[in-house]
Amino acid sequence: MKKEELFETLQDLDDAFIREAEDHSVKKVKTRNLYAYASIAAVFVLALIAGIIFREKKPVTFGTSSAPESVQAESEERHYIYPERLVSINPSYPVSAIKDMDAQSFRVSDQYLKWFSDYREKAEASSGLQAQMMPYCQALIGNVLAESGENAVCSPLNTYIAFSMLAEVTDGNTRRQLLDMLGAEDIETLRRNVSSLWNSNYADTPVLKSLLANSVWIDQAAGFNEKALSRLAETYYASSVSGDMSSSEMLEALKAWINDNTGGLLKDYVDSMQLDPETILMLASTIYYKAAWINCFYTDETKAEIFHGEKGDKTVQMMHSHDSQGVYYGEKYTAVRLSLQDSGFMYFLLPEEGTDVSALASDPEVYEMLTRKTDIDEATKQEERWAFPMVNLSVPRFSVSGSTDLKNVLAAVGATDVLEAGKADFSPLTAAEGMFLSSAEHTARVEIDEDGITAAAYTVLALTGGMPPEEVIDFVLDRPFLFVITGFDGSLLFSGIVRNID
Amino acid sequence: MEDEKILQLYLDRNELAIHESAEKYGAYCRAVAMNILGDPDDAEECVNDTWFKAWNAIPPASPADLRTYLGKISRNLAFDRYRTEHRDKRGSGEEALLLDELEEIVSGHEDASSSLIARELLSEIRQFLALQTKEKRVMFVRRYWYADSVTAIARRLGVSENRVSVTLNRLRKKLKDHLNQRGYDL
């Protein structure tokens, strides 16, 4: 007999058993909210453009940006509290798919079906993009994670959007190099890609929050090409603020915007943020991400156990589960993936004994594993490489953070013109010469616990005009490992290496 | 509306029967189909088909338990669809996992007499389940009839997932032994 036939045979089980199983339910004493938002991730990208003399000094006016067409009908302006005298134009963003409904009610409602159908269509529309982006992701993760000897985290998707905005305000070879880095043939293709990624990664429901936002911050005394700024607003949904960049008022407004868009998750970083008085323009981008584990960990199964970090052993809180999980056996690693409600997966990659975890960050097999295939046969073959045994999973609660300079990434992929004052071409933005990217700092934090993930990061790109600068297996994450968090469309949202746990 | 009244609407060929069924048992049937298919669109189509199948079956059928009757139709439709979609390859999601679990009980080979023994087999399974505690029986039915995830069962019963997994594992082994002892080599 085949397993399917047995399942069919059970179809005619006694009504009494079926009714009993439906009506029997025990109220739990402990609160275990499956739909508690398990993961909160936030990424900020701030591009600081400073120290440039502009010919054009007329006041900047901004085009009104809009949300993607598909969500315009249900959009509203987000209102942040800016000082009154700051010019502020906010683009329309989608409103929550459902308000005043809890996650469980939403999951069985007609609204959910409608939303999910739309969401899936958008994800399918961007399904080919992840493969195009993968070389960029590989370069980013390889550089940011492997180069660091400490814990490290980054957000491929958010830095991709940030560098796309940077490409938008450049031209000539500078833009060409950035486009090559981002895997786009031309700027029009890049615009379509970003729009598609935005659509497929934007979700605001009682179950999942994956919110993207961009903004442009301009010194009121400076002049910019209005068309370039309008383009940033229209294509990248960037809200616009203008004021005295050297004022504390402007700094506080920027901090408020970031905190609003990240739920205050990166407040420690934001609090210590300073603006260079020479700054005349900033591009800021955020992603805010909250998703529940489909199979959550139970707190009563969490125990104090040893994590063998690179700096020595440390007692940590180890979470446990015993369930069937997707397991991938790579040449140098074993990976387990945990599903996130209505989103992608969190992959945990444990290197083979003797293999440095850094090696995984640049291992082509990892990116092959993460690249979602669009061809059905290839996708089937790829899926067949995953086994689904019972897994005794042990994952430490952790909070890791790190900071790195993204200029290394730019240099590694050959996008070097933007780093040099004599070569960087910002002509779409200004006729002034001598502008270049002087720093590109990326800082991130990811935390996980029984409920899920909390993550945050920001990147500061500074441009100045001065001098250039089946079996049952045990999968125990008790030693350094790599993780990757993906979205519903397969986009790489976050990645990191955990070497030590404080 | 009470089940008796809904049933009467079916018997009277009053199309309100479909509306009332959907109103009262739409979420239930959707959950059954969704567990098997894992896709809201597919699940919704199964639920819509459920009303029409019930419309064609009643009369002459006159189910004593309307909710379970409709749930069975949804389960059947959902599984038919699942099999069609995964004719040539292993599926993914909860249904694929629980089918793999059921494979521990059967040989997996083609058997011409399968359909003949299904009724007898069901009788043995019924006896087996009747001998179990209520909690174990509910776990089994939730997993292999409703296709619930282990997590969902654990939450419903207020126990750990580990306990559900271990209990189901033991139940499968015991059921296999129970059937073997009675001459069933599936």
Task: Please tell me whether residues A443 and A487 are part of one structural domain.
Answer: no
Is residue A21 domain-resident?
A: no
Distance CA A420, CA A212 (A): 30
User: What's the token pair of residue A259?
Assistant: 């905190």
Task: Please tell me whether residues A422 and A379 are part of one structural domain.
Answer: no
Is residue B186 domain-resident?
A: no
User: What's the token pair of residue A385?
Assistant: 């490489």
Over residues A202-224, the pLDDT tens digits come to 888 888 888 888 887 777 766 67
Is residue A11 domain-resident?
A: no
Task: Please tell me whether residues A173 and A273 are part of one structural domain.
Answer: yes
Q: What is the pLDDT of residue B111?
A: 61
Over residues A371-411, the pLDDT tens digits come to 877 676 777 677 778 887 778 899 999 887 777 788 888 88
Q: Which residue has better confidence, A162 or A64?
A: A162
- Count Cα atoms within 13 angstroms, Cβ side, for A423: 14
- Judged by DSSP in three states, B114 sits in helix
Task: Please tell me whether residues B101 and B126 are part of one structural domain.
Answer: yes
Per DSSP, the residues of A164-210 read HHHHHT--HHHHHHHHHHHT-SSHHHHHHHHHHHHHHH-EESSSEEE
Task: Please tell me whether residues A281 and A326 are part of one structural domain.
Answer: no
Task: Please tell me whether residues A363 and A377 are part of one structural domain.
Answer: yes
Task: Please tell me whether residues A427 and A383 are part of one structural domain.
Answer: no
Q: Which residue has better confidence, A29 or A431?
A: A431
**Chain A residue closest in CA terms to B29:** A108
Kindly state the DSSP code that residue A300 receives in the 8-state scheme.
G
Percent of chain B as helix, strand, coil, to the nearest 5: 75, 0, 25
Instruction: Give which of A371, A369, A343 is closest to A133, Cα–Cα.
Output: A371
Cβ(A465)–Cβ(A64) below 8 Å: no
Task: Please tell me whether residues A306 and A455 are part of one structural domain.
Answer: no
Distance CA A346, CA A333 (A): 16
Task: Please tell me whether residues B164 and B118 are part of one structural domain.
Answer: yes
Distance CA A329, CA A346 (A): 16
* Residue that the structure tokens 């497929």 belong to: A200
Task: Please tell me whether residues A323 and A460 are part of one structural domain.
Answer: no
- Contact yes or no for A9 and B121 at CB 8 A: yes
Task: Please tell me whether residues B24 and B50 are part of one structural domain.
Answer: yes
**Chain A residue closest in CA terms to B136:** A21
- Contact yes or no for B126 and A14 at CB 8 A: yes
Is residue B103 domain-resident?
A: yes
Task: Please tell me whether residues A206 and A343 are part of one structural domain.
Answer: no
> Could you tell me how far CA A269 lies from the centroid of its own chain?
18
Task: Please tell me whether residues A77 and A193 are part of one structural domain.
Answer: yes
Cβ(A175)–Cβ(A425) below 8 Å: yes
Is residue A10 domain-resident?
A: no
Q: List chain B residues with CB under 8 Å of A117.
A: 40-41
Task: Please tell me whether residues A277 and A311 are part of one structural domain.
Answer: no
Is residue B174 domain-resident?
A: yes
Lowest mean pLDDT among A277-286, A302-311, A435-444, A463-472: A463-472
Question: In the predicted model, is pLDDT for residue A188 greater than 80?
Answer: yes
Question: In the predicted model, is pLDDT for residue B135 greater than 80?
Answer: yes
What confidence tier does A50 reach under pLDDT thresholds 50, 70, 90?
Answer: very low
Task: Please tell me whether residues B51 and B101 are part of one structural domain.
Answer: no
- Judged by DSSP in three states, A442 sits in strand
Task: Please tell me whether residues B141 and B101 are part of one structural domain.
Answer: yes
Instruction: Give which of A144, A183, A147, A132 is closest to A442, Cα–Cα.
Output: A144
Radius of gyration of chain A (CA): 24
Residue A263 sits in a domain of what CATH number?
A: 3.30.497.10
Task: Please tell me whether residues B32 and B67 are part of one structural domain.
Answer: yes
Residue A326 sits in a domain of what CATH number?
A: 2.30.39.10
Q: What is the pLDDT of residue A298?
A: 82
The residues, any chain, with a CB within 8 Å of residue A269's CB and separated by 6 or more, are A443, A456, A458
- Contact yes or no for B151 and A24 at CB 8 A: no
Task: Please tell me whether residues B51 and B117 are part of one structural domain.
Answer: no
**Chain A residue closest in CA terms to B168:** A323
- How many structural domains is chain B composed of? 2
Residue B140 sits in a domain of what CATH number?
A: 1.10.10.10
What confidence tier does A434 reach under pLDDT thresholds 50, 70, 90?
Answer: low
Task: Please tell me whether residues B101 and B172 are part of one structural domain.
Answer: yes
Task: Please tell me whether residues B75 and B117 are part of one structural domain.
Answer: no
Question: In the predicted model, is pLDDT for residue B177 greater than 90?
Answer: no
Q: List chain B residues with CB under 8 Å of A2.
A: 106, 108-111, 114
Is residue B91 domain-resident?
A: no
Instruction: Give which of A448, A112, A82, A70 is closest to A289, Cα–Cα.
Output: A448
- Count Cα atoms within 13 angstroms, Cβ side, for A364: 0
Is residue A24 domain-resident?
A: no
A113/B contact by beta carbon, under 8 A: yes
Among B85, B108, B130, residue at a domain's last position: B85
Among B33, B52, B85, residue at a domain's last position: B85
Is residue A54 domain-resident?
A: yes
First to last CA, chain B: 44
Min Cα distance B158 → chain A (Å) is 5
Is residue B90 domain-resident?
A: no
Is residue B116 domain-resident?
A: yes
Name, of A48-57, A109-118, B5-14, B67-76, the range with top average pLDDT.
B67-76
Task: Please tell me whether residues A229 and A275 are part of one structural domain.
Answer: yes
Q: Which residue has better confidence, A240 or B97?
A: B97
Mutate to test the interface with A, among B141, B143, B144 (most CBs of A within 10 A): B141
Arithmetic mean of pLDDT over chain A: 76
User: What's the token pair of residue A306?
Assistant: 């040893």
Is residue A218 domain-resident?
A: yes
Q: List chain A residues with CB under 8 Å of B105.
A: 3, 6
- Contact yes or no for A9 and B118 at CB 8 A: yes
Among B85, B113, B145, residue at a domain's last position: B85
- Contact yes or no for B144 and A24 at CB 8 A: no
Distance CA A222, CA A53 (A): 8
| Domain of residue B56, residue span | 3-85
Is residue A14 domain-resident?
A: no
Q: List chain B residues with CB under 8 Å of A25.
A: 156-157
| Domain of residue A204, residue span | 40-127+151-292+398-464
Q: What is the pLDDT of residue B89?
A: 64
The residues, any chain, with a CB within 8 Å of residue A375's CB and separated by 6 or more, are none
A56/B contact by beta carbon, under 8 A: no
Interface size A-B, in CB pairs within 8 Å, comes to: 155
- Judged by DSSP in three states, A19 sits in helix
Is residue A447 domain-resident?
A: yes
Task: Please tell me whether residues B50 and B113 are part of one structural domain.
Answer: no
Give Cα separations from A39 to A157, A447, B1 (angstroms): 16, 8, 41
pTM higher than 0.80: no
Question: In the predicted model, is pLDDT for residue A498 greater than 60?
Answer: yes
Is residue B68 domain-resident?
A: yes
Task: Please tell me whether residues B27 and B62 are part of one structural domain.
Answer: yes
**Chain B residue closest in CA terms to A298:** B160
- Contact yes or no for B114 and A1 at CB 8 A: yes
- How many structural domains is chain A composed of? 2
Kindly state the DSSP code that residue A60 receives in the 8-state scheme.
P
Task: Please tell me whether residues B60 and B103 are part of one structural domain.
Answer: no
Distance CA A8, CA B80 (A): 9
Q: What is the pLDDT of residue A26?
A: 59
Distance CA A236, CA A218 (A): 16
